[in-house]
Chain A
Amino acid sequence: MRINLDFYIHWIWTVTFGVLAITGFALMGARYGWVMNYALSAADYLHRTLAALYVVLLAVAVLLEILRILIGLKVSVWMMIGTKPYQIFTLITTLLLIISGLMIWVCMEWMHTAVAFSMIVHEIVSFLALGSIIWHLYEKAHSLRI
């Protein structure tokens, strides 16, 4: 049994996204702050730190995909991005989350309009991504017969 790099990327990405989701929802508003018992300082710090890791993971996944296209690198079904519909969906939502998150971080002090817009995008895409993960789990559970 051979486990490729994309298998590890998939599961590191899963854990990272899970923690980003919890910390992110805690930061989203008073409705969800109880998820982390209103420890918003810890949530904010953890969210920003893991966001950096999330960017690195995307860069590695994109690099693997480019290598697959250019030199025919062998990748497995665990690849996060690619040509299948859910892989494209993952790439688009990840890019939207990263870019809107970066705008929230950078523009917080000096351009509140951009921050407000980015927060709406960041929030809506995170709901979509979370919902899509439930679909993904259901689909894979049936296709993998586990």
Chain B
Amino acid sequence: MYDKAWFKFLTWSTAAFFFLLTSFVIMATLGPFPSEEQIHHWMSEMMNAMHLSLMAFSMHMGEDSRLMSIILASSQLIIPLAVGSFFSGLLVRWSEKKGGKGR
């Protein structure tokens, strides 16, 4: 796979993207402080974005809709599951090192 053209294209294009993004972030971080006008422009866009985003989510899903309830419940389950799975895995590895059930 590693010598295939599609793999090289995939990896190099991804690398180019992240190099570019990091360069822009570094230049913006080290660059001049934004002007008053830029700051106000960003702030007004941000207030607009927050308002629209919250509206969009509630419009698409409805505040009392079952879909919204399912999505909220699922998202509240997934994170504890992910964290719990990780620590369970650590426990299993620890027990294996202590002479428990092997792989």
On whether the two chains bind one another, the answer is: yes
Listed in ascending order, the chain A residues whose CB lies under 8 Å from chain B are 1, 3, 11, 14, 18, 21-22, 25, 27, 29-35, 38-41, 43-45, 48, 52, 55-56, 58-59, 62-63, 65-66, 69-70, 72, 91, 95, 98-99, 102, 108, 127, 130-131, 133-134, 137, 140-141, 144-146
A14-B14, A66-B88 in contact; A21/B21 too (CB < 8 A)?
A: yes
- Residues B46 and A59 in contact, CB atoms below 8 Å apart: no
- Residues A134 and B83 in contact, CB atoms below 8 Å apart: no
Q: How many residues of B contact A (CB 8 A)?
A: 49
**B67 at the A interface (CB under 8 A):** no
Report the bound CA distance from A134 to B71 in whole Å: 34
Report the bound CA distance from A32 to B53 in whole Å: 19
Interface string of B4-32 (1 = CB under 8 A from A): 00011011101101110110110011010
Report the bound CA distance from A1 to B4 in whole Å: 11
**B70 at the A interface (CB under 8 A):** no
**Chain B residues numbered 85-103 whose CB sits less than 8 Å from any CB in chain A:** 85-86, 88-89, 92-93, 103
Report the bound CA distance from A58 to B11 in whole Å: 21
Query: What is the minimal beta-carbon distance from B2 to any residue of chain A, in angstroms?
Result: 6
- Residues B78 and A59 in contact, CB atoms below 8 Å apart: yes
Query: What is the minimal beta-carbon distance from A61 to any residue of chain B, in angstroms?
Result: 9
Complex contacts, A69 vs chain B, CB 8 Å: 89, 92-93, 103
Report the bound CA distance from A65 to B83 in whole Å: 12
Report the bound CA distance from A134 to B14 in whole Å: 11
A40-B48, A146-B11 in contact; A72/B42 too (CB < 8 A)?
A: no
Candidates A22, A30, A52, A141; contact of B38 at CB < 8 Å: A30
- Residues A52 and B75 in contact, CB atoms below 8 Å apart: yes
- Residues B53 and A48 in contact, CB atoms below 8 Å apart: yes
User: What are 12 inter-chain pairs, A to B, with CB distance below 8 A?
Assistant: A21-B21, A30-B43, A33-B38, A34-B28, A40-B46, A45-B52, A62-B82, A102-B75, A127-B25, A141-B15, A144-B2, A145-B2
